[in-house]
Structure 1
Amino acid sequence: MQKKSTFRQRLATVISGTSTKEFVQPLRPDGGMGFDDSSRIKDYISKAEQLSANVGWAAAASDAIAEACAAVQIQLYRKKSDGDREEIKDHELLELLKDPNNIHSGEQIRQLHFSYLNFTGESYELMLKAGQPFVPTPGKLPDSLLILPSHQVQFKLEPLYSQSVVKYGQVEYKLATIIRDINPDPANPYIGRSRIAASAAAIDTDDQMKQWNRRFFANNARPGMVINTNGELSDKSFDRLTQSLDDLHSGTDNAYKNIVIENGDAKPYSLTQSDLDFLASRAFSRDEILAMFRLSPALLGMAENVNKATADAATYINAIINTVPRMRQYINLLNKILVKVYDPTLELDFKNPVPEDVEAKLKQAMELTNKVFTIDEIRALYGLKPLPDNLGDQFYIPTATVTLESVANAEPIEDPNVPDEVDPTVDENGKPIKPVAGKKTLEGVKKRSSCGS
């Protein structure tokens, strides 16, 4: 009776490629990728699935946007009758936005707000007063704001939009008690469009690659080397060989030591071309996800071909195309739903988060000083006080450009405070003035004087 090979021996036969059996196809029709109930291909239609994409590169990209938006300083102004406005530093509205509830700070509320907008396309903030839903009224503000998990919120659209209902859990809230922000979907402008749903293929591809990678190392980790023997080893010989290899060739101190195998050979098990293609595909998916969020890799700390200039440019562009539009939409929404109802003379705004181009500003100052701007005007741009004794309130010409010839040929400078000389013998139109009979004139006196002489 033929002795049945052990599992260890059968595994070694398969790995070494000496098996005569044809390759066994995977039992699942998905090619072994594991698209089962736990890691099936996702289309990210439901908001719960959309929020599940908050991992990996998508999470890093969303956080880079949401954290930057949440950190922007919100300002409050009172509008004047002349069209100007005055900033208010201390007000109960600012305090509400700074400390909206006992769970989250204002910055955390805004970070969640923009994260929900990124992943589900919608965000909901519930206004409360004394623990009850609050409808904004003149002269009254809510005492707290709560962020609702947008993936658990149901929005019921009514024919009259203001009568629509927001349901969270088993409770329904009137739309008037909710600050509802959306990224309008062109297919249905009354609901929000998720960035994840709009790029489901790229997100799911990256997710499946991560799952494949995890399962590969958890269940199918490849050996670093395959050792072939000319015959089957007994269990005792196998244990002695593996123990010897562990003792002599494991650990950093034993790196690159030679291996001697009697009556056999050893082959390294290296990455195949398909493995390399897999790694390149993951990088491609990463770049596609970052492009979906309109984000530069430099903002995520990836320093490939990045210097200070390109990093500063990435920060500058992100503030313009991501931070400013989102903050402007959020502030306008707060003004419309809450502030204008509370007090029409007030309005919220935000401090411009776009970083200043210091080099461009310095270059402009150097080129325009004493040409377009005085020294004091340039100093004011940098928040500096004027020079003493009015030294900086006039233009100065560098002495290197002044020569004796230029001074001699210069046009005389007229003093605007000295009146023009008036000729008493002509009128304002230049015609001679006739002397009046019986009245002495300077010209007549001159003629008589000359005759007498």
Structure 2
Amino acid sequence: MDFLKRLVSRITKRSANDGVWDAAFTTYPSDIVEKAFLDNNKEWVFVAVDKIAKSVSSIHFKVMRAQKSGDDVEVFDGPLVDFLETPAENLTGKDFVYLNTVYKELTGNAFWEKEKRDNLRPLIPTLMRPVVHAGRISGFKYTEGVVERTIPVSKVLHDRYVDPRRPYWGVGKLEKIARWVDTSSYANEFLRLFFVNGAQFGGFIETEEETDTRIKLIKAGLANEHVGVNNAHKIAVLPKGSKFSAATANMSDMQFRELDEQYRDKILSGFGVPKTLVGFMTEVNRASAEASEYIFSKYTVKPAVEDLIEFLNVSIAPMFDETGQLYFAYDEFVPENIEAKLKERELALGKRPYKSVNEVRAEEGLAPIEGGDDVPEPQAPATLPPGDKTIKATEKRAKALPKRFRSQVRKEAFIDDILARATEVATEHIDPDEHAHKKFTGRVDDHEKLIEDKTRDFNNRQEREVVENLARITKSVSKGDILDQASEIAIMVDMISPLLRGLMIEQAIEEYAAQGFEGSFDVENSSISRAVELAAKRMAQSYNDTTATLLKNALNDGIAAGDSLLQLTHRVREVYAFSDEVRAKALARTESFFIANEASKEAYRQSGVVKSIRWYTAEDERVCPYCGPIHGKVIGVNETFYKKGDVLQGEGESTLKLNYRAIDVPPLHTNCRCFIRPERIDIG
């Protein structure tokens, strides 16, 4: 690899000195210049761009007519529909979308010239130059061969990925990953020349000849007979007094496969294309393949489609429709997030059954069973959160209103919902915080039991491995001798993370709905993944560190006492018995309360109207001397109650040092039962 690094270094250094790149608008030296962007649509660049463009062009685009009721209808005839079928001469609708996408991905710009009768003609972006005055484009210079012509701005439709350096122009992804593409191309060209030059490295001819003419004749003869693929592996005869010395480098030094894979992955990721979608299926299962398809559709294709739709509605639709009622749209194509859909359905139905046993069996291709046609009755009646109907009833209406009225309608519905729930609470003489705490605790309890069971499973596996390794212990041990901390932490994180995520999503959706916030909670928000990842890692590190400390102390005590292997085994089993009985339960209660409180806080953040939160205790005789004094404490929704390392004063001289984490939400300590409530809601 060092050999190739030196090679690439020399090549890139040469290209930087050739003066072939535009220093004003390129981040770093590259052989890929603006005029050659389209020429570089090959190899991995082509694979990525073609995948994106074909995906975008496969979407079903349509024309819609806006209705005052909000029930917009699809239009199947008219000039906008004709445009989608034949937007330009000799181009279908799919061709138009494909070409527009390819141009933007490679160059950042797509240009269409308006001809007679509103026909469009594609313009090659690399042949276009803007005429700029006072930071604005006043026209374009278009050069075809040796002919240059000026095109007025009014005759050109310009779609682009805005370049922050030149807001009037566009920038493509290729420019930003130019050096990755350079390196991949250099490596492939080097490999091609390697085969062209005889499928083995060059070398040196040592000869006693002194005249340039004789030396040139020897080189020419060898090149004629032994250079090139067709001449590979021939037996060479050297002139008298000559000797051939091969170069020391070999193919294994080059590591071309590793280099090709490295820059292939970089180029694909630069364009936002998972490698599983272009045929690389190593170490891929169905779940990861579906995840790749979902990520590609949502985060690569959909933004490109949304950008194209905006261009069509801003630049194309007004050409054919003066009323402003018609607009371009598309059919939803991002694969469903099944987990989130099931969770929302479960909440909407109040966790009540909605399918019979035989319906489920039919979906699985199984025969019906006797008595399986009835939908099971719920064990307890379930009610929708108060206020849901009020919000739902206004959503449709609000969508049909002009933009300036929408926020007012939603605000009025939100206020009505708050007043209705306040009246209900006052009439029934219920403490709303106490009522919310009971529902919160009940929701957490179900997940807490799952986390506790998973932690015991983790303990059981770990116990077996520790016992199996006891025979190798002959002297005092450290924590690292007993457990592979990194491995155990990773296993626990993988085991617990799905449970924490499930609880966080459920609590956030419930709290969002219970408060009557506008719209719905975004379960795909990256804050959820970050919160779960941080909580799982912190919990796994702390739990395994404590386990290793307990085992170290127990085993060292046994070794010092001269215990037999059987007695050491008994000490280990006592540690895990304590972990199963006490620590697993405490961990499950503490971490489930934390992630549920974090979920409520995320719901408040997403609402955009909650400005502060309040600490609420269980308000019973079990409230501890540390939590009691902070009951009712209010902070901003993005602030923390206490910093990590703060020390709280309890009764008498007792203190509590907060060394586990900063306290942005409860719990304050192990087995804490506190939770947060929204304090200040700003709706105007």
Residue of 207, 231, 234 corresponding to 2:185: 207
Percent identical among aligned pairs is: 23
Q: Which position in structure 1 is the counterpart of 2:126?
A: 151
Structure 1 residue 318 displacement after superposition: 0.9
Q: Contact 2:135 / 2:168 at 8 angstroms: preserved in 1?
A: no
Structure 1 residue 208 displacement after superposition: 0.6
The answer to whether the aligner puts 1:357 opposite 2:344 as a matched pair is no
The answer to whether the aligner puts 1:313 opposite 2:300 as a matched pair is no
Q: Contact 1:371 / 1:395 at 8 angstroms: preserved in 2?
A: no
Q: Which position in structure 2 is the counterpart of 1:322?
A: 300
- Which has the bigger relative contact order, CA under 8 A and spacing at least 6? 1
Tell me which amino acid in the other structure corresponds to 2:91.
Answer: H
TM-score, normalization by structure 2: 0.39
Q: Deviations over 1:229-277 (max 9, x none)?
A: xxxxxxxxxxxxxxxxxxxxx9xxxxxxxxxxxxxxxxxx99554133x
Q: Secondary structure of 2:133's partner?
A: coil
Q: Which position in structure 1 is the counterpart of 2:198?
A: 220
- Whole-angstrom CA distance in 2 between matches of 1:159 and 1:345: 35
CA RMSD of aligned residues (A): 3.8
- Equivalent residue runs for 1:250-399 within 5 Å: 272-276=251-255, 278-340=256-318, 342-343=321-322, 344-358=324-338, 361=341, 365=345, 371=351, 397=377
Unaligned runs of 5+ in 2: 1-8, 22-28, 202-232, 234-247, 360-373, 382-684
Tell me which amino acid in the other structure corresponds to 1:282.
Answer: D
Q: Which position in structure 1 is the counterpart of 2:210?
A: none
Q: Secondary structure of 1:157's partner?
A: strand
- Whole-angstrom CA distance in 2 between matches of 1:62 and 1:44: 19
Structure 1 residue 319 displacement after superposition: 1.1
- Whole-angstrom CA distance in 1 between matches of 2:350 and 2:178: 58
- Equivalent residue runs for 1:126-205 within 5 Å: 126-130=113-117, 142=118, 144-159=119-134, 161=136, 163-165=138-140, 167-169=142-144, 170-205=148-183
Tell me which amino acid in the other structure corresponds to 1:167.
Answer: Y
More helix by share: 2
Q: Which position in structure 2 is the counterpart of 1:51?
A: 38
Q: Which position in structure 2 is the counterpart of 1:99?
A: 86
Change (3 A) 1:360 1:55: same
Q: Which position in structure 2 is the counterpart of 1:76?
A: 63
Q: Which position in structure 1 is the counterpart of 2:111?
A: 124
Q: Contact 2:268 / 2:274 at 8 angstroms: preserved in 1?
A: yes
Q: Contact 1:290 / 1:296 at 8 angstroms: preserved in 2?
A: yes
- Whole-angstrom CA distance in 1 between matches of 2:37 and 2:133: 25
Tell me which amino acid in the other structure corresponds to 1:69.
Answer: V
Structure 1 residue 205 displacement after superposition: 0.5
Equivalent pairs counted in the alignment come to: 299
- Whole-angstrom CA distance in 1 between matches of 2:326 and 2:264: 44
Structure 1 residue 397 displacement after superposition: 1.3
Q: Which position in structure 1 is the counterpart of 2:541?
A: none
TM-score, normalization by structure 1: 0.58
Tell me which amino acid in the other structure corresponds to 1:347.
Answer: Y
Q: Deviations over 1:7-39 (max 9, x none)?
A: xxxxxxxxxxxxxxxxxxxxxx958x997999x
Structure 1 residue 202 displacement after superposition: 0.8
Structure showing greater Rg: 1
Tell me which amino acid in the other structure corresponds to 1:291.
Answer: S
- Whole-angstrom CA distance in 1 between matches of 2:83 and 2:90: 13
Q: Contact 2:107 / 2:125 at 8 angstroms: preserved in 1?
A: yes
Q: Contact 2:128 / 2:140 at 8 angstroms: preserved in 1?
A: no
Q: Which position in structure 2 is the counterpart of 1:25?
A: none
Structure 1 residue 158 displacement after superposition: 3.3
- Whole-angstrom CA distance in 2 between matches of 1:34 and 1:221: 26
Tell me which amino acid in the other structure corresponds to 2:291.
Answer: A
Q: Secondary structure of 1:90's partner?
A: coil
Change (3 A) 1:368 1:127: same
Change (3 A) 1:221 1:368: same
Q: Contact 2:108 / 2:170 at 8 angstroms: preserved in 1?
A: yes
Q: Secondary structure of 1:123's partner?
A: strand
- Whole-angstrom CA distance in 2 between matches of 1:160 and 1:285: 37
- Whole-angstrom CA distance in 2 between matches of 1:396 and 1:273: 66
Change (3 A) 1:196 1:271: same
Tell me which amino acid in the other structure corresponds to 1:112.
Answer: L
- Whole-angstrom CA distance in 2 between matches of 1:37 and 1:146: 38
Structure 1 residue 308 displacement after superposition: 1.8
Change (3 A) 1:83 1:362: closer
Change (3 A) 1:373 1:112: farther
